[in-house]
Structure 1
Amino acid sequence: MNAIAVNKKFITTAELKDMGYSYYKIGKLEEQGILSRVNRSTYENLTYKGDENDFFSAEAFVPNGVICLMSAARYYELTNFLPDAVDVAIERKKKVNTLPEWPEIRIFYFDASRMDLGVTEVRDGDNCFHIFDIEKTVVDIIYYRNKIGIEETSEVLRNYLKRRDRQIDRLYAYAKRLRCEKIVRTYLEVLV
Structure 2
Amino acid sequence: MNKINQMKNEFKKNGGILKTIELNEMGFSSRQIGKLMQDGIITRIKYGFYELREYHPKEEVIIAKLFPKAVIFLESALLYYGYTDRIPLSWQIAVDKDSNKKQYEIDYPFIEPYYIENKYLNVGVSTIEIEGVPVKIYDRDRTMCDVLRYETKIEREVFAKAISNYVADKEKNIRNLLRYAEIFNIKNKVQTYIGVRL
* TM-score (normalizing by structure 1): 0.85
Please report how far the alpha carbon of residue 106 of structure 1 lies from its aligned counterpart in structure 2 after TM superposition.
1.4
Cα shift readout 1:76-96 (whole Å, capped 9, x = no counterpart): 101122212111111111124
Tell me which residue corresponds to 2:72.
67
Please report how far the alpha carbon of residue 187 of structure 1 lies from its aligned counterpart in structure 2 after TM superposition.
1.4
- Inter-CA distance 153–191: structure 2 relative to 1 (3 Å threshold): farther
Tell me which residue corresponds to 1:39.
46
Tell me which residue corresponds to 1:12.
19
Secondary structure of the structure 2 residue equivalent to 1:93: coil
Q: In the alignment, which of 130, 137, 148 is matched to residue 131 of structure 1?
A: 137
Secondary structure of the structure 2 residue equivalent to 1:165: coil
Tell me which residue corresponds to 1:89.
94
User: Does structure 1 conserve the Cα–Cα contact (< 8 Å) formed by 2:11 and 2:51?
Assistant: no
Please report how far the alpha carbon of residue 20 of structure 1 lies from its aligned counterpart in structure 2 after TM superposition.
3.6
- Inter-CA distance 179–18: structure 2 relative to 1 (3 Å threshold): farther
- Inter-CA distance 2–54: structure 2 relative to 1 (3 Å threshold): closer
**Alignment partner of 1:188 is 2:194:** yes
Secondary structure of the structure 2 residue equivalent to 1:24: helix
Q: In the alignment, which of 19, 26, 31 is matched to residue 33 of structure 2?
A: 26
Please report how far the alpha carbon of residue 63 of structure 1 lies from its aligned counterpart in structure 2 after TM superposition.
4.5
Quote the Cα distance in structure 1 between the aligned partners of 2:173 and 2:89.
Answer: 29
AA matched with 1:86: W
Aligned residue pairs total: 189
- Inter-CA distance 19–173: structure 2 relative to 1 (3 Å threshold): farther
What fraction of aligned residue pairs are identical, expressed as a percent?
28
Tell me which residue corresponds to 2:61.
56
Quote the Cα distance in structure 2 between the aligned partners of 1:128 and 1:184.
Answer: 30
- More helix per residue: 2
Q: In the alignment, which of 144, 159, 163 is matched to residue 165 of structure 2?
A: 159
Moved more, 157-166 or 24-33: 24-33
RMSD between superposed Cα atoms in Å: 2.2
User: Does structure 2 conserve the Cα–Cα contact (< 8 Å) formed by 1:69 and 1:141?
Assistant: yes
**Alignment partner of 1:109 is 2:115:** yes
* TM-score (normalizing by structure 2): 0.83
Please report how far the alpha carbon of residue 45 of structure 1 lies from its aligned counterpart in structure 2 after TM superposition.
1.8
Quote the Cα distance in structure 2 between the aligned partners of 1:140 and 1:120.
Answer: 15
**Alignment partner of 1:141 is 2:147:** yes
Any gaps of 5 or more consecutive residues in structure 2?
Answer: 1-6
User: Does structure 2 conserve the Cα–Cα contact (< 8 Å) formed by 1:5 and 1:47?
Assistant: no
